[in-house]
Amino acid sequence: MSETTPQPLTVKDIPIVGNKELRKVICAAGLGNAIEWFDFSVYGFLAVIIGHTFFASAPQSVQLIASLATFSIPFLFRPMGGAIFGYLGDKYGRKNILSFTIILMSASTFAIGLIPSYATIGVFAPLLLLLAKIIQGLSVGGEYAGAVVFVSEYSPDRKRGFMASWLDFGSIAGFLVGALVVSTISLAIGQDAMGDWGWRIPFFISLPLGLIGLYLRKSLDESPTYEAQNNNSAEAEEQEKVETTSVGTVIKENLNGIVISCLLVVAVNSTYYMLLTYMPNFLSVNLGYSYDHGVLIIIVVMAFMLLVQPLVGFLSDKIGRKPFLFLGSVGQLFLAIPAFYMVMHHNVFMIAGGIAILAVLLCCFIGVMASILPALFPTDVRFRTLAICFNIAVLIAGLTPPIAAWLVETLQSLYMPAYYLMVVAVFGFIAAVKMPETANRPLKDATPVASSKTEAKEVLQEHFDYIEDQVNEIENKISDLEEQRQNLVDQHPKLN
């Protein structure tokens, strides 16, 4: 393999990404997250009808369990999807793989609306439903990680926190739209028609959304960071080397980033599922509120989160990502019990206030997570490593609702979910301590990205200052090592 001497970086080497192009990237990438959570919402709200439609031979109490179990199956296939699409995304580009995953995801969701009922085709109905959910799991395994990588590699260094925060904004928006669509259709056609055929309509909506996302993604260029790597012949050779490197070597070289990302994702998604999935059931089963009442409160809180989350991303570009991780983890550690104390009062304002506290703390996490994770890994293995870590951690976090319910039932304490949140808050705190500050810095082993020529000059100078600091730090370490060496040599008669 030929060796080349790296040339000094100049302003011409800094990619310029304008606001118009950035908005297009955010829309294209965020739409995939919105479709994922749209399906999450629709399936959850229609779980009873889906259970009756596809598991009609089972007792009514078992139908809902079977429906929810089918919903959970895709989580098992997400790590496999992350590994497959992550590898392909590192080899063939982020844009191409994201174009494939969004159409695969929307098509599998659309297919659920086409599957005949158990009364029509018997056991093939639940089998086809399971197949559609497995395909969803594989595609989602590459979708979120790919979108996070794509947006982060496209975003200027000074705006990455704000830009990446819109991805999870899309997730929450997709959930809310799903709830609104189901409620509107049910109100318009009535419960009987909804159970007969109306439930299929929300699933059909996913296909046109996917086609819009496909069009937007196809119209974009590849991310500047990925293109810069492939355009450099020396780095291209290094890419070939990495592709033949064992999984063990990749893990060893990126172990710190892997540990941080897994800790962070478990902390964030455990809190996410506790608040948005478990809480409505907690309010209805354990506190006696109607399920619809609990869901309405959650929807209001999620709408509030839509306002807070981008603000956290914006501020993280000004003061850093780590302060928000510390605020979210420490706040959750000390406020989880007071928040649940408020939730358990029979006053709607107290309930909303307690949930709002947890929601603000969650926003501290999800407002910065999408900008932190890609910065932990180098470009050549960023997609695959992040996708596998993220989906394994999500699989673990997905156990949060049943574990919380089991703890409450077994230990007969309504505060067990709060204690659970306190434990995962420690994970978030450890991640905050271990991670390097990534705000206003280029991605790992990547060229800086700017939003204008003027900013490019400033970013380049900041990059040079950072390199000088790193060189000085290395020289100080070398000096200390030389001093230690000399001390040892002085103690040995034959080495003097």
- Six-digit token string for 396: 């673990």
Question: Which 8-state DSSP code applies to residue 451?
Answer: S
Rounded Cα–Cα distance for residues 206 and 196 (Å) = 20
Question: Which 8-state DSSP code applies to residue 11?
Answer: G
Under DSSP, is residue 219 helix (H, G, I), strand (E, B) or coil? coil
Q: What is the pLDDT of residue 345?
A: 84
Rounded Cα–Cα distance for residues 286 and 407 (Å) = 12
Rounded Cα–Cα distance for residues 447 and 340 (Å) = 46
Rounded Cα–Cα distance for residues 159 and 310 (Å) = 11
Amino acid symbol at 413: S
Are 33 and 174 contacting, i.e. CB atoms less than 8 angstroms apart?
yes
Are 159 and 440 contacting, i.e. CB atoms less than 8 angstroms apart?
no
Under DSSP, is residue 20 helix (H, G, I), strand (E, B) or coil? helix
- Six-digit token string for 74: 């895709």
Rounded Cα–Cα distance for residues 50 and 286 (Å) = 25
Q: What is the pLDDT of residue 367?
A: 93
Q: What is the pLDDT of residue 445?
A: 80
Transcribe 30-87 into DSSP letters. HHHHHHHHHHHHHHHHTHHHHHHHH-TTS-HHHHHHHHHHHHHTHHHHHHHHHHHHHH
- Positions of E strands within 227-348: none
Torsional sign, CA 41, 103, 134, 392: negative
Q: What is the pLDDT of residue 2?
A: 43
Phi-psi region of 445 (alpha: psi -120 to 50; beta: other; left: phi over 0): left
Rounded Cα–Cα distance for residues 333 and 328 (Å) = 9
Distance of CA 311 to the CA centre of its chain: 18
Rounded Cα–Cα distance for residues 424 and 237 (Å) = 41
What does the radius of gyration of the chain's CA atoms come to, in whole angstroms?
A: 25
Fold held by 16-224+240-451 = Growth Hormone; Chain: A; (1.20.1250)
Q: What is the pLDDT of residue 401?
A: 83
Q: What is the pLDDT of residue 246?
A: 65
Find where tokens 């294209």 sit.
Answer: 28
Torsional sign, CA 197, 199, 202, 203: negative
Q: Which residues have CB under 8 Å from 444's CB, separation 6+?
A: 375, 376, 377, 378, 379, 382
Question: Which 8-state DSSP code applies to residue 379?
Answer: G
Closest by alpha carbon to 259, among 385, 398, 380? 385
Rounded Cα–Cα distance for residues 148 and 142 (Å) = 10
Distances (CA, A) of 482 to 39, 475, 479: 61, 10, 5
Question: Which 8-state DSSP code applies to residue 222?
Answer: P
End-to-end Cα separation, the chain, in angstroms:
41
Rounded Cα–Cα distance for residues 366 and 359 (Å) = 10
Rounded Cα–Cα distance for residues 11 and 5 (Å) = 19
Rounded Cα–Cα distance for residues 333 and 421 (Å) = 7
Rounded Cα–Cα distance for residues 297 and 304 (Å) = 11
Strand partners, 450: 16
- Six-digit token string for 234: 């020396």
Closest by alpha carbon to 66, among 53, 79, 55? 55
Give average pLDDT by consecutive 10-residue segment, the chain, 496 residues.
Answer: 58 80 87 85 82 81 72 83 89 88 90 91 90 90 89 90 90 87 87 88 91 87 80 52 63 89 94 84 78 75 88 94 96 96 86 91 94 92 91 88 85 92 96 92 84 80 83 89 85 75
Rounded Cα–Cα distance for residues 98 and 104 (Å) = 10
Rounded Cα–Cα distance for residues 264 and 138 (Å) = 22
**386: phi then psi, degrees, rounded to nearest 5:** -65, -40
Rounded Cα–Cα distance for residues 123 and 114 (Å) = 16
Rounded Cα–Cα distance for residues 212 and 11 (Å) = 36
Are 38 and 207 contacting, i.e. CB atoms less than 8 angstroms apart?
no
Q: Kindly tell me the number of DSSP H helices and DSSP E strands found in the chain.
A: 22, 0
Find where tokens 């496909």 sit.
Answer: 214
Cβ atoms < 10 Å from Cβ of 202? 25
- Entry pTM: 0.84
Q: What is the pLDDT of residue 114?
A: 93
Rounded Cα–Cα distance for residues 415 and 433 (Å) = 28
Q: What is the pLDDT of residue 308?
A: 92
